[in-house]
Structure 1
Amino acid sequence: MSFFSCQKLKFLCQFLHNCVSLLNQMSSQVEPGVLLEKVGSAGVITINRPKVLNALNLPMIRQIYPQLKKWENDNETDIVIVRGAGGKAFCAGGDIRAVTEAGKVGDPLAEDFFREEYILNNAIGTCRKPYIALIEGITMGGGVGLSVHGRFRVATEKTLFAMPETAIGLFPDVGGGHFLPRLRGKLGLFLALTGFRLKGRDVQRAGVATHFVESKKIPELEKELVEMKSPSAADVSRVLDSYQSQVRILLHRRVPCCLLFQTLSRMSPTSLKITYKQLKAGATMSLQDVLVMEYRLSQACMRGCDFYEGVRAVLVDKDQNPKWKPSTLEEVSEQAVEQCFSSLGDKDLTF
């Protein structure tokens, strides 16, 4: 081998070594999307993507689920607390852009994300240990699924709750078909169809949160919770009650008919009809059965076109001018809606 060849080889080896070192350095600086830690007698889940409002992705789901099941069966773990990092959001929803891109090309992510997210939602709903969600900041879509099925949901004056899926050609999933129709009156249907935002105390008044605690008291509340010795659900409830300002009465606020019509006219007609049927059916179904139904609906949306157009208009191009197909409620046939609820055979969601 010539002298120049040796020099080139040494240079190449050094270059590759530097590249590997740089990649290792970069990977070590990347914060994990979710932090899972044991603090006192509590298992603590911290949603840790504050730069993207703690959006939930599949790797995070795959970390949370097994750890939640482990804590549920651990005699030294008495409660589970879930919270969001950064102060702006608990969790603003699922990583919809990634699912959109996957759905366009038939990538399995479009199936896996919804399947595993719904399995996690069910695990939260059936968790035998007291599950306490501190829903401070933006709580939408996937963030609702991480919180609302748990035994305790604590809102603060910074909480902003919404299920805005009909605006992107989807439907209020993550078990929305179970908890929304169980809110008083027709409030759940209103929230589902319009994506209306509840703020602060109204989140508890509506029944979405079980407690309302001032934001400045949350660190003290967390400290007391993790220091409790072998607490029961009743013990946790007493602690939460001691921190909250009692809010019993739901304020009745009239929404002008013209404003309601304008809001609904911007939503996907197909999504509106699917959502109406979803909530009507879900009112008498178990959480598991609702999630099976919603998985079928999720895959129907992946096969359609409104979801991709909605994401384009609202999240990508942001022109807020989606071209829905069909474009009117009258054009959405009952047969088309019914097909969205059809069994997927061996691809159905199972628990």
Structure 2
Amino acid sequence: MDFGGGDEIRFERKGRAGVVTLTRPKALNALSHGMVRALAKALAAWEDDPTIAAVLIRGEGRAFCSGGDIMQVYAAHRAGEEPPAAFFADEYRLNAHIERYRKPYVALIDGIVMGGGVGVSFHGSHRVVTENAQFAMPEVGIGFFPDVGASHLLPKLGGHFGRYLALTGNRIGWGDVLGCGLATHAINAADQERFAERLCDSGDADAALEGLTVSPARETEAAVLEAIGRHFARPSLPEIIEGLKAEVAADPFAARTLSTIEGRSPTSLLVAWREIEAGRGLSMADCMRMEFRILVRMLAGHDFYEGIRAAIVDKDRQPKWQPSRIEDVSTADIDAYFAPLGKRELTF
């Protein structure tokens, strides 16, 4: 089946399921604009196709999907071209469509899932992880912000775990992904093909999972979960940082977490804090409108491109954030990221 996307994404009709496979394993299945547009077309066609009962999405290789192809963004910036806001607009519309999809949307996550990969998986009805799953929203580490609906997903996690993930960008394994509520099910990697075959035969995701699900223990120990809940319950980012500083000498978790946060973009941290708090009271569509407002301002700024340079291009891991300290970022600076865009607002 050809919905576009070339050799980067494959669409198949298997039994009662529409099967999507991300086929850029050397690029860890990073999403290109062509992949986003092709997936949007397929989902629209399959939603109205009575012979398709469910959609299954998976990735080739060791990643489900590592995120959006940010090197395309960096290349456009270096060439002096218009920032590719259209890519993100189409991606965000796709994320919103997945969240309201009228049929079971099953993401089989066997490997790395980050950024844009989260957007095409964790808004679906069934988020199935294996022991190879590695989840992260690492955007604050590259001067960006947790997008693709993170403002809709992360506020729902108990124990302030969503705040922790957004502000640190730390990776978590399958036990934590399931335990915090991001995933709906876990299966062993060895059972993936059996599950996929069952799903394609029946079109019934719940029936296909019967007898295959497992309950992995959380990788994060109870004492650390308690510390996360205590520290990240504080009512502002500066108060979280001060609380961590107060316990650095006595608590390895506080020392590690403070060190991580202090290496992130101050602007990104403050934007992430506000978007996660705002997202608690917003619909998915309104979250995506908010995130698009932030995105447009990020593309016109400094830290995102500097973060890509330091992490991917030069790989010196020494980003020069502007401003370099949280106390130098004003409330007005952050307000500007959330201001309406007028005629440029994201529409659905």
Matches within 5 A, 1:94-113: 94-105=68-79, 107-108=81-82, 110-113=84-87
Structure 2 residue aligned with 1:41? 16
CA distance in structure 2 between the partners assigned to 1:53 and 1:257 by the alignment: 32
Query: 1-side partners of 2:216 and 2:110: how far apart?
Result: 17
Name which of 34, 41, 57 aligns with 1:82: 57
The number of equivalent residue pairs is 316
Deviations 1:202-223 (A, max 9, x none): 2111211111100000001000
Identity %: 42
1:279 alignment partner in structure 2:
276
Distance in 1, Cα, partners of 2:8 & 2:201: 26
1:239 corresponds, among 201, 204, 208, to: 208
Does 2:306 correspond to 1:309?
yes
Corresponding residue for residue 19 of structure 1 = none
- How far residue 237 of structure 1 moved from its aligned partner, in angstroms, is 2.0
Note the C-alpha offset of 1:101: 2.1
Structure 2, unaligned runs of 5 or more: 225-251
Residue 334 of structure 2: which of 327, 334, 337 is its match?
A: 337
Partner of 1:126: 100
> Which residue matches 1:267?
264
Structure 1 distance, partners of 2:59, 2:132, is 12
Counterparts of 1:247 and 1:205, CA distance in 2? 8
1:11-50 → structure 2 map (5 Å cutoff): 32-50=7-25
Counterpart AA for 2:289: V
Counterpart of 2:317 in structure 1 is 320
Deviation track 1:291-341 (CA, whole Å, cap 9, x = no partner) reads 000011111111110001000001111111000000000000000000000
Query: TM-score normalized by structure 2?
Result: 0.88
Distance in 2 between residues matched to 1:104 and 1:339, nearest whole Å = 24
* Matches for 1:213-232 after TM superposition, within 5 Å: 213-228=187-202, 231=203
Q: Which residue of 2 aligns with 1:297?
A: 294
What is the SS of the residue equivalent to 1:242? coil
Secondary structure in structure 2 of the residue aligned to 1:150: coil
1:64 is aligned to 39
Taking only aligned residues, the RMSD between alpha carbons, in angstroms, comes to 1.6
2:65 aligns with one of 49, 66, 91: 91
Gapped runs of 5+ residues in structure 1? 1-29
Letter in 2 for 1:343: P
The TM-score, its normalising length taken from structure 1, stands at 0.87
Helix, strand or coil for the counterpart of 2:222? coil
**Which residues of 2 match residues 169-184 of structure 1 at below 5 A?**
169-184=143-158
Structure number with larger C-alpha Rg:
1
Q: CA deviation at 1:247?
A: 5.0
AA matched with 1:291: M
Q: Name the residue aligned to 1:12.
A: none
SS of 2:7's partner is coil
Q: Aligned-pair distance for 1:188?
A: 0.4
Flag the 1:82–1:253 CA change in 2: closer, same or farther, 3 A: farther
